[in-house]
């Protein structure tokens, strides 16, 4: 069975603090993608990153960075020097792409991040 | 998520009425997914469609819910005889395909259904 766990339900930080959002996934497939999406208070889902299972390189995009570790089945997301505009719900998701899979996303429950001024 | 168009953004229906939610995928995308986000919950997969075909409907409730993606026009998620428990945000997403390459899935802004 496939599963994504975001153990942190809510996180509150003060502006300029660094914050890491945890994501642990379960799958027996060897071919899969991992995603992070942001859902700001306005409600839309904003794509942040996609990672395939064969690429364990960490990625940095501005203040955002992602740490993919297959050994621990984790795909953690760090925001450096957080800002109030980062306040949102963040979802980690998994999709399978081996034979017979349709690429549908399996989402974690989400982590609500509140950044206080 | 630019380009995946959903309408209406907000819809209010009385119990027993029908709700129709529309989704136009991004240009060049032929694969559409529908997800539901119940209050205080994460997103759950409902159905995956390609043009004129339902590929995977394993997440669709067995009754009252249907989806289509005709050759021409938007994908439609239809909920008949709505009940209060159908109140949720319904998200449409599109992609170029389910293969290894190019399968970033982009979401629309969602349609919020409220059943009164």
Mind giving me the DSSP string for A45-111? -EEEEEEETT----EEETTEEEEEEGGGTEEEEEESS--GGG-EEEEEEEEE-STT----EEE---E
Distance of CA A5 to the CA centre of its chain: 10
Q: Would the CB atoms of A50 and B104 count as touching at under 8 Å?
A: yes
- Residue with structure tokens 């996934």? A25
pLDDT tier for residue B4 given thresholds of 50, 70 and 90: very high
In this structure, are residues A65 and A21 in contact, taking their beta carbons and an 8 Å threshold? no
Token pair for A27: 């799958």
Between A44, A104, A110, which is nearest B33 by CB?
Answer: A104
Position B2 confidence tier, pLDDT thresholds 50, 70, 90:
low
* Angle made by CA atoms B11, B17, B22, in degrees to the nearest 5: 45
**Calpha distance A87→A39 (Å, rounded):** 9
Please, what sign has the CA dihedral across residues B7, B98, A94, A11? Answer: negative
- Identify all chain B residues contacting A52, using CB atoms and an 8 Å cutoff: 100
Contact A117, A15 (CB under 8 A): yes
Taking the alpha carbons of B43, B45, B50, B52 in that order, is the dihedral positive or negative? negative
Give the tens place of pLDDT for each residue, A41-77: 988 899 999 888 888 888 888 999 999 999 999 999 9
Measured CA to CA in angstroms, residue A56 lies from A78, B37, B98 at distances of 16, 30, 21
Task: Report pLDDT for B1.
Answer: 45
B112 contact A CB<8A: yes
Q: Which SS3 state, helix, strand or coil, does residue A117 take? A: coil
Nearest CB to B43; choose among A102, A103, A107: A107
B91 pLDDT band, cuts 50/70/90, is very high
C-alpha to C-alpha distance for B107 and B104, rounded to whole angstroms: 10
Contacts of residue B93 in chain A, CB cutoff 8 Å? 45, 105
B7: β partners: B22
CB contact under 8 A, A101 and B98: yes
Q: Cβ contact (<8 Å) for A43 and B112?
A: yes
Residue A2, token pair as written in the block = 């496939």
SS (H, E, C) chain B: CCCCEEECCEEEECCCCCEEEEEECCCCCCEEEEEEECCCCCEEEEEEEECCEEEECCCCCCCCEEEECCCCCCEEEEECCCCHHHCEEEEEEEECCCCCCCCCCEECCCEEEEEC
Tens-digit pLDDT profile for residues B30-61: 899 999 998 877 899 999 999 889 999 999 99
Q: How far is B87 from chain A (nearest CA, A)?
A: 15
Q: What is the pLDDT of residues B13-36, one digit of tens each?
A: 999 999 999 999 998 888 999 999
**pLDDT exceeds 90 at position B112:** yes
């Amino acid at each position: 069975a496939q599963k994504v766990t975001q153990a942190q339900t809510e996180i509150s930080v003060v502006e300029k603090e660094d914050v890491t959002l945890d994501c642990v996934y379960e799958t027996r497939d060897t071919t899969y993608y991992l995603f992070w999406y942001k859902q700001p208070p306005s409600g839309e889902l904003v794509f942040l990153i996609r990672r395939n299972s064969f690429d364990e390189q960490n990625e940095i995009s501005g203040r955002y960075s992602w740490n993919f570790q297959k050994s621990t089945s984790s795909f953690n997301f760090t925001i450096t020097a957080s800002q109030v505009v980062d306040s949102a719900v963040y979802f980690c998701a998994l999709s399978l792409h081996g034979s017979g899979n349709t690429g549908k996303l399996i989402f974690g429950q989400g982590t609500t991040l509140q950044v206080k001024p | 998520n630019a380009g995946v168009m959903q309408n209406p953004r907000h819809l209010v229906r009385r119990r027993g009425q029908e709700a129709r939610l529309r989704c136009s995928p991004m240009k060049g995308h032929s694969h559409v997914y529908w997800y539901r986000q119940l209050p205080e919950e994460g997103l759950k997969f409902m159905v995956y469609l390609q043009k004129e075909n339902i590929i995977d409907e394993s997440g669709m409730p067995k009754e009252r819910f249907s989806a289509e993606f005709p050759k021409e026009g938007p994908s439609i998620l239809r909920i008949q005889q709505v009940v209060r428990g159908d109140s949720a945000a319904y998200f449409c997403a599109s992609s170029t395909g389910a293969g290894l390459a190019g399968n970033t899935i982009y979401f629309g802004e969602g349609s919020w259904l409220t059943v009164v």
